[in-house]
Structure 1
Amino acid sequence: MCVLQLTIMSLRIIIVLAVFTGVTGSPSVTVRPEADSVYVTAHPNSVPETGEETGFFGKLEVLVEDETEEDMMATGELNPNHYPAQRAAKVVQHYLNTRYGSPYRLLGLQRVHSGNAEDVEDSGRKYQLEISVQEMIGNTTEKCSAEVLFPRGEGQRSPQVQASCEQLLKVNNTAQEEALYKLFKTNQSLLSAQNLPDSYGHIEPDMKPLWHLSIVASSAVMLNESTENTLYNMAQVANITQLATENDQVKFDCHVLLHEMVSQEIIHWKLLFTWSPPEGVKVLQMEQLPHCHDCEKPPNTN
């Protein structure tokens, strides 16, 4: 009896070892946004994916697969849950926020329905996508078609994007934006905030417009820096300060932390941007700060 039990146990151990040692090749990462069980490590101050923040943060299941499968999917019809389609679709999110985002309108990727990729002579690789885009604050969703071209050649150039989601832009936020603009312009003291969100993922309600403005401004950086090999998310606003200005624009100096989810790097950027209801968010300057191991810890950042 004891010998039989030991034999069975030995066989189980051999099978387990065979399964683990049978995984070969270079691993690649597949994104499955709808999964709930496994979370990508993000900056400790990142907001969990809840409510209006859906589509901006974490909650991505990571599975290890042979890289040949991803390479095969990179041209022609794409698996909507694999990295090539997800990376291109995320670029569309940044593009939409750069063009249409405001303190009361944030656009995020909800789902990739289908995708196709092709090489375009010497121009680069073009992605055709069918995606669902969600307006986070109003919680409305629209299915959109989009095209993303990642240029090929010397030097990094930002992707070229075409997308239209008219239904998400029909909500009239003019009254809210005008009230916020008046508040910014008439405050006795210039506004400032730090650690949005804090180490518990919390943002005070009156600070959310600053958080939303920072996301829109950061989208310009994430769009500019995106390639076929990146996947950017907003992680945290280390600090944001309203600056004095004599024109109609409200101006902000902002230090943001972006999470590049492929390399798992937290990248620091310093932004100078303006906002007004008629003109939207305009990024005047963007500067990448040294990596964390080369620089001091941002003030009051956990």
Structure 2
Amino acid sequence: MSLRIIVVLAVLCGVTGSPSVTVRPEADYAITTVHPNSVPETVEETELFEQLDILVEEEAEEDVMATGELNPNHYQAQRAAKVVQHYLNTRYGSPYRLLGLHKVHSGNAEDVADSGRKYQLEISVQETLSNTTEKCSAEVLFPRGEQQSSPQVQALCEAHLKINTTAQEEALYQRYKMNQSLLSAQYIPDSYGHIDPDMKPFWHLCIVASSFIMLNESSENTLYNMAQVANITQLATENDQLKFDCHILLHDMVSQEIIHWKLLFTWSPQEGVKVLQMEQLPHCHDCEKPPNIN
């Protein structure tokens, strides 16, 4: 049995297994199944069973980057399209608006001299909270060089910008701007995948903030999702922005690694999300374990 088939079977076990695995933010490991809290941000991820045959067929050709027209379900087109999702969230995401990849309709890849590889994509983007979709045209350039650079993205899809979330955002902003006590929370979602309703806007907000990391770190060999907010703390600020410090867990579905990052960011309805600092946390074998949250 080939390694690729073994990985596919491991993923299948991860989808059908127990959801009660406790996430331990201090752990230094590479998991072999889908992370229990990893968010299925695309329709394709929720249709895993239908794509197992495609993954097996790709095994022999995965090491070869194709040019020209791509299979929309092929890993190359899917990974490039996922980068477009992160790009859109960095520009337009909010606590009440998240943009996700719904479907790749077509894709084309070409080598661009010494610049890198360019992908031309026709995709459907879904506004996950209102469950509306729209077709978009996008271009993703993965730069070539000894030092990895973040992908360059252009996307044309304007309809989602017309979704009006102003009233909800303003109410959330005023509530936490005027609070006497600052927000502090851990493990969003918890080990069962549960998110307290009051914390859902901050889960969304952290997904938006983490999109800056996922966009910056993405390559043709990665496929990132947000897995969990280990902790988030609201910080005092003298300006009009709400300010947050958080520790997040990202899941690279290609390597099956859980990667820990520290984020410092601000948000307001007028200015959106602004990332001030992002730092990948070192591997930690001896950190204090979190309490059992089962």
Query: Normalising by the residue count of structure 1, what TM-score does the alignment of the two structures yield?
Result: 0.82
User: 1:246 and 2:238 equivalent?
Assistant: yes
TM superposition shift of 1:69: 3.0
Give the conservation status (yes or no) of the 8 Å contact 1:144–1:163: yes
Report 1 or 2 for greater relative contact order, CA contacts < 8 Å, sequence distance ≥ 6: 2
Residue 46 of structure 1 and its aligned partner are, at CA, apart by: 3.4
Partner Cα distance (1:239, 1:148) in 2: 32
Q: Which residue of 2 aligns with 1:266?
A: 258
RMSD: 2.6
- The gaps in structure 2 that reach 5 residues or longer are 16-31
> Alignment partner for residue 290 of structure 2, among 287, 290, 299?
299
5 Å-filtered alignment, 1:165-176, equals 165-176=157-168
Cα offset, 1:55, TM superposition: 5.3
Aligned to 1:189: 181
- Name which of 62, 87, 92 aligns with 2:79: 87
Structure 1 residue 139 corresponds to structure 2 residue 136: no
Aligned position for 1:154: 146
Change (3 A) 1:239 1:94: same
Deviations 1:139-176 (A, max 9, x none): 11001000000000121100000002111111111111
Given the alignment of the two structures, is residue 75 of structure 1 paired with residue 67 of structure 2, yes or no?
Answer: yes
CA distance in 1, matches of 2:6, 2:141: 22
1:222 is aligned to 2:214: yes
Farther-moved stretch of structure 1 (180-189 vs 55-64): 55-64
Q: Larger deviation: 120-129 or 71-80? A: 71-80
Give the distance between the partners of 1:236 and 1:196, measured in 2 at CA. Answer: 6
Alignment partner of 1:102 is 2:98: no
Q: Is the 8 A contact 1:73 1:79 kept in 2?
A: no
Q: How does 1:9-158 map to 2 (within 5 A)?
A: 27=4, 39=15, 41-47=33-39, 49=40, 60=48, 61-62=51-52, 63-65=55-57, 67-70=59-62, 74-158=66-150
Larger Rg: 1
Deviations, residues 44-102 of structure 1 (Å, cap 9, x unaligned): 3335x4xxx55597664443335443456621111111110010000000000001000
Identity of aligned residues (%): 77
Aligned-pair distance for 1:192?
1.4
Q: Secondary structure at 2:202's aligned position in 1?
A: helix
* Change in CA separation of 1:152 and 1:72 when aligned onto 2, cut-off 3 Å: closer
Partner of 1:12: none
| Alignment pair present for 1:236 and 2:225 | no
Q: Distance in 1 between matches of 2:115 and 2:188?
A: 39
CA displacement 1:18-45 (0-9 Å, x = unmatched): xx6xx6xx748999xxxx9984822233
The answer to whether 1:208 aligns with 2:209 is no
User: If the length of structure 2 is used for normalisation, what is the TM-score?
Assistant: 0.84
- With over 3 angstroms needed to count, the CA separation of the structure-2 counterparts of 1:152 and 1:199, relative to structure 1, is same
Q: Closer, same or farther in 2 for the Cα pair 1:240/1:55, shift >3 Å?
A: farther
Q: 1:38 & 1:252 partners in 2: Cα distance? A: 32
Q: Give the secondary-structure state (helix, strand or coil) at the position aligned to 2:57.
A: strand
- Deviation string 1:81-127 (CA, Å, 9 cap, x unpaired) is 11100100000000000010000100000111110000000000000
